[in-house]
Amino acid sequence: MKGKKGQTAAVATAIGTVLLLVVLGIMVSINADVVDTIQDGQAANSYAANASDDILSGITNFSGQMPTIWLVAAVGLIIAVLLGAFAFVRLGGK
């Protein structure tokens, strides 16, 4: 019984992490769209335009790192499932 609980906990944690990353990706794209829409109505070289340029630059940089973050999360998910399966088999499948 102990192995099943450990395996279930590892998979549940991994699924939660994947869902968190999906929500994070959606939020980043929505924020970029909102800032881009706001920036269209601003005067060139104003403080507001410069601030929104910096915000868009930061969102772009963060978005560029998302594939790396997703890769690390996917590797973590695979490791969690493998360790959970190993613990399950090691404990006799109970």
Helix locations, 1-94, DSSP H: 2-40, 47-90
In angstroms, the CA 27 to CA 48 distance is 22
Q: Which residues contact 43 (CB under 8 A, 6 or more apart)?
A: 49
Could you tell me which of 3, 27, 1, 2 has the C-alpha nearest to residue 83?
Answer: 3
pTM above 0.85, yes or no: no
Max CA pair span of the chain: 69
Question: Does position 91 have pLDDT exceeding 80, yes or no?
Answer: no
Task: Give pLDDT tens digits for 25-53.
Answer: 888 888 888 888 888 888 888 888 888 88
